[in-house]
Amino acid sequence: LDTRKPRKFPPGPNWLPILGSALEVKKSRDKTGYLYRSIKQLSNTYCKYSPLIGLKIGKDRIVMVNTVEANKEMLHNEFIDGRPTGIFYQTRTWGERRGVLLTDGELWKEQRKFLIRHLKEFGFGRSGMSETAVVEAEHMTQDILDIMGEKKSATIQMHNFFNTYILNTLWTMMAGKRYNPSHPEMVLLQTILFELFAAIDMVGCSFSHFPILSILAPTLSGYKDFVRTHKRIWKFLRNEIASHKSRFDSNKEDKDFMDVYLRVLREHGEINTYSEGQLVATCMDMFMAGTETTTKSMSFCFSYLVREQQVQKKAQEEIDRVIGRNKTPTLNDRPNMPYNEAIMLESIRHFMGRTFGVPHRALQNTTLAGYNIPKDTMVVSNFPNILMDDDLYPEPYSFKPERFMLDGKLSIPDHFFPFGLSKHRCMGDVLAKCNMFVFITTMLQRFSFLPVPGEPLPSLDHVDGATASAAPFKALIIPRMQDE
Ligand code: HEM
């Protein structure tokens, strides 16, 4: 029975008992090096012209959505608005369904609305957001100058350079706090998060497809590490909440999102979907969804800027012309700087062009692109198939900001939606774009990023995982001279 596909299920490889199509996916992944390339290869083999490919990995039925039209249809279909359930998605929140990133139904609706409404009070989507980004960009500049010291140049490991500053912009709103990049707890947390994201896929990992492995082979299946990493993050967040609680004064104005949430809990108790656990999970979701994505888009950005010096020069010319060398860039400059904005969009394209969307789940039997999608099937946007499509983006693996420009103005095509669409659309797109614009322009205003002499250029390969990351690389950073 396990090998029989549901009627009119999207085409794809055959299903073996218990394993489903896992072996074939693995074989193809080993050959191509990356999960998204293996899905492309399997699509070419089994269903070249189909907008969907249907797989089964262990217990999970997974449908990958390959085309622009089918993705639009999927993201607007309310019957595919669920998020997956099961050991992988629940272990991260101590066995319960909590948070905003991987939940659905009433809890997700109520908490998403509350989060968006109250984050605005602390600058989210408003001018305060740009001010926070500017403060972090100043810290970044100063930190680079400190590393340079007398030498007037520095060779810096870039793939994770932006992590803490990006986290700080989010954490300022969530918890009213910022960290120095050398803060030991931060370094540790970010290292384990990076490792975690490299060890799992957007559609899960071995113990999520084969839950029995969490008992039979907890170490080998990655289950033990998964739990260990999450326990660390919970501890970090619970400590922060405890410190907020200890200094909470109901007569004083709330300073950050944690204060607002704790006030609700104090005044009304754990009612409806509100609970302290939900607060921990929401912070963890923002932490994970907010930092990994933006940091990795930035790492792609700078790995290409180091390789493509003419792109960097063109961006610096625009900065000099519009802002000059002395005024700090802010979000207000964005409408006048289409080339720098196009660099930001091209960086996001390179990141999401190697990353799948956050999985959805069919809440009931439904249809998509003419195929049947049974209840509880996982449905995933295959962003790489769209964002690296030769027809939509000629020479897709080249870094060409010009593809987002027309007659000197910014031009964003209808088929570019790397933040998703409709109800589950990314909650942080405005923050991500604000941070990226301010960080890119401030860095290029003050410094040039060059290849390290005697070392190879940043690799075009990347690190596979739940989200893709540019391969680790270094840049030689030099300050820009006034007469340059
Ligand atoms: C370049 C940066 C980013 C990219 C490319 C990105 C992309 C995405 C995508 C594709 C989704 C899934 C949409 C869907 O399921 O249909 C998503 C969801 C989400 N993102 Fe982002 N994101 C980015 C930055 C951020 C930031 C900075 C935050 C936090 C402030 C954030 C928070 C979230 C949350 C909470 C969700 C879940 C929304 C929901 O299910 O209701 N993201 N993002």
Rg (CA), the chain: 23
Kindly tell me if the per-residue pLDDT of 199 is higher than 80: no
Q: What pLDDT does 482 receive?
A: 62
Q: Is the pLDDT of residue 263 over 70?
A: yes
- Ligand-binding annotation for 426, yes or no, is yes
355 touches ligand 1 (CB under 6 Å): no
Kindly tell me the burial class for residue 177, based on how many C-beta atoms sit within 10 Å of its own C-beta (0-12, 13-18, 19 or more). Answer: middle
Task: Flag the least confident range among 130-139, 197-206, 299-308.
Answer: 197-206
Question: pLDDT band for position 137 (50/70/90)?
Answer: very high
Q: Is pLDDT of 370 > 90?
A: yes
Indicate the average pLDDT of the chain: 93
- In the reported structure, the alpha carbon of residue 211 is separated from the centroid of ligand 1 by a whole-number distance in angstroms of 27
How many CB atoms sit inside 10 A of residue 127's CB?
A: 11
For ligand 1, say whether the CB of 465 is within 6 Å of any of its atoms: no
126 has pLDDT over 90: no
Question: Ligand 1: does its nearest atom lie under 6 Å from the Cβ of 420?
Answer: yes
What are the strands, taking DSSP E only, across 109-237? 154-157
Q: What is the pLDDT of residues 269-287, one digit of tens each?
A: 998 999 999 999 999 999 8
pLDDT digits (tens, 9 = 90+) for 10-51: 999 999 999 999 999 999 999 998 999 999 999 999 998 899
Distances (CA, A) of 462 to 32, 127, 267: 13, 35, 48
The CA-based diameter of the chain, rounded to the nearest angstrom, is 74
Give the model's pLDDT for residue 332. Answer: 94
Average pLDDT of 185-211? 79
Q: For the complex shown, is ipTM > 0.85?
A: yes
* Contact indicator for 330, 134 with CB cutoff of 8 Å: yes
pLDDT on residue 84: 95
Percent of the chain surpassing pLDDT 70? 99
How far apart are the C-alpha atoms of 192 and 233, rounded to whole Å? Answer: 10
Whether the CB of 294 sits within 6 Å of ligand 1: yes
For the Cβ of 84 lying below 6 angstroms from any atom of ligand 1, the answer is: no
The stretch 60-85 carries a mean pLDDT of 97
Question: How far is it, in rounded angstroms, from Cα 154 to Cα 149?
Answer: 9
For residue range 397-416, list pLDDT tens digits in order. 999 999 999 999 999 999 99
Which pLDDT score, from 0 to 100, does residue 229 have? 87
Nearest to 41 by CA among 57, 29, 56, 58: 29
Counting ligand 1 atoms within 8 A of each CB, the residue from 256, 301, 344, 426 with the most, and so the one to mutate, is 426
Distance 355 CA to ligand 1 centre (A): 12
Nearest CA to ligand 1 atom 17: 426
pLDDT of residue 194: 76
- Residue 253 tokens read as 């104005």
- Looking up tokens 């970090």 gives 236
Per-residue pLDDT tens over the stretch 293-344: 999 999 999 999 999 999 999 999 999 999 999 999 999 999 999 999 999 9
Residue 8 has pLDDT above 60, yes or no: yes
For 336-440, list the strands marked E by DSSP: 360-361, 366-368, 371-373, 378-381, 405-406, 409-410
Q: How far is the CA of 420 from the centre of ligand 1 (A)?
A: 8
Atom 6 of ligand 1, residue of closest alpha carbon: 419
Question: Is residue 483 pLDDT above 70, yes or no?
Answer: no
CA of 95 to the centre of ligand 1 (A): 23
pLDDT surpasses 80 at 354: yes
Q: What is the mean pLDDT of residues 441-456?
A: 97
- Residue 484 pLDDT more than 70? no
Ligand 1 within 6 A of CB of 123: no
Q: How far apart are CA 45 and CA 54, in angstroms?
A: 13
pLDDT single digits (tens) 236-249: 899 999 999 999 88
